[in-house]
């Protein structure tokens, strides 16, 4: 059904999830990826950790790097307070097209801005393009070797303020060793590891939550 994995995930969402019900979209994707074919969504176990941080921070301005099929964008958007925005970046046009439809099916398109392009190009333009001062919360889930350069770029572009929080997926599997060393070693961050498992498996993975101290 469908030629790519993301297309098969979208087809499953349209077949099984209730239109306008973000939770049913999230649950449908989790069911499919646990029982039919694995996909690199943050998933239900790590997703619960992400949910608790989003609910604690109640971000007005949130950034996600690496949309993929839109699973975490839907999960996050469903928890955002009114007139809050999630900006999510995806440079693969096929994934972006799928994610737009998943986000629309979930009925959260008014809370999500999907930018199609590379984070390296867009991070320096964020302030001007979106009238932003800084991000309250950033979810890193794109190429693992880009976590560190993009974090440094966000610092340089003044997109992090005292108290801004970075949440990074996959710090164990596949791993982001240079990023971990940086946020754990830098006096400018207060970092905490939330032990969990790789989505839909029993392999260890975890989420790193790092508060920028300015
Ligand atoms: C670099 N700047 C980018 N700008 C915009 N979109 C981007 C950028 N870079 C990538 N994208 C976009 O962000 C996504 C990339 C997600 C990468 N994620 C993973 O590799 C990843 C891998 C595993 C995994 C674990 C074990 C195993 F055996 C196999 C896989 C688990 C995970 O949870 C992951 O998140 C998308 F694909 C790409 O177009
Ligand atoms: Mg991930």
In whole angstroms, how far apart are CA 148 and each of 18, 53, 59, 74, 106? 38, 21, 22, 25, 31
The angle that helices 22-35 and 43-57 make with each other, rounded to 10 degrees, is 150
The CA 213 to ligand 1 mean position distance, Å, reads 27
Contact 140, 169 (CB under 8 A): yes
The pick from 49, 66, 199 for probing ligand 1's pocket by mutation, whose C-beta has the most ligand atoms within 8 angstroms, reads 66
Which pLDDT belongs to residue 1?
A: 55
Which ligand has its closest atom nearest to the C-alpha of 142? Answer: 1
Determine how many CB atoms are found less than 10 A away from the CB of residue 179. Answer: 25
90 C-beta closer than 6 A to ligand 1: yes
83 catalytically annotated? no
Is the CB of residue 143 below 6 angstroms from any atom belonging to ligand 1? Answer: yes
Binding site membership of 91 for ligand 1 (Cβ less than 6 Å):
yes
Name the burial class of residue 127, with classes exposed (0-12), middle (13-18) and buried (19+) by CB atoms within 10 angstroms of its CB: middle
Taking the C-alpha atoms of residue 35 and residue 77, their distance in angstroms, rounded to an integer, is 25
DSSP 153-165: HHHHTT-EEEEEE
Question: CA torsion sign, 115 to 116 to 119 to 121?
Answer: negative
Q: Which atom of ligand 1 is nearest to the CA of 117?
A: 5
Task: Assess whether the C-beta atom of 40 lies below 6 angstroms from ligand 1.
Answer: yes
- Is residue 46 lining ligand 1, measured as CB closer than 6 Å? no
170 classed as catalytic: yes
Structure-block tokens of residue 11: 């087809």
> Tell me, what's the ipTM?
0.99
pTM: 0.99
Encode the chain (214 residues) as per-residue pLDDT tens digits: 558 999 999 999 999 999 999 999 999 999 999 999 999 999 999 999 999 999 999 999 999 999 999 999 999 999 998 899 999 999 999 999 999 999 999 999 999 999 999 999 999 999 999 999 999 999 999 999 999 999 999 999 999 999 999 999 999 999 999 999 999 999 999 999 999 999 999 999 999 999 999 9
Q: Which ligand is nearest to the CA of 88?
A: 1
Report the C-alpha gap between 187 and 213 in whole angstroms. 8
pLDDT at position 36 is 98
């Amino acid at each position: 059904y469908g030629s790519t994995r993301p297309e098969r995930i979208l087809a499953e969402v349209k077949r099984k999830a209730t239109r306008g019900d973000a939770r049913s979209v999230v649950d449908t994707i989790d069911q499919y990826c646990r029982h039919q074919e694995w996909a690199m969504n943050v998933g239900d176990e790590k997703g619960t950790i992400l949910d608790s941080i989003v609910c604690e921070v109640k971000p007005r301005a949130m950034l996600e790097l690496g949309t993929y099929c839109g699973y975490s964008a839907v999960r996050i958007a469903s928890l955002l307070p009114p007139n809050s925005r999630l900006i999510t970046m995806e440079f693969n046009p096929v994934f972006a097209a799928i994610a737009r439809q998943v986000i629309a099916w979930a009925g959260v398109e008014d809370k999500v801005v999907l930018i199609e392009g590379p984070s390296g190009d867009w991070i320096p333009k964020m302030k001007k393009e979106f009238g932003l001062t800084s991000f309250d919360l950033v979810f890193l889930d794109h190429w693992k070797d880009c976590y560190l350069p993009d974090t440094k770029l966000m610092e340089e572009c003044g997109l992090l303020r005292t108290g801004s929080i970075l949440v990074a997926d996959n710090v164990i599997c596949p791993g982001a060793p240079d990023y971990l060393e940086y946020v754990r070693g830098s006096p400018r961050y207060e970092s905490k590891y939330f032990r969990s498992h790789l989505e839909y498996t029993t392999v260890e993975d975890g989420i790193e939550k790092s508060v920028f101290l300015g």
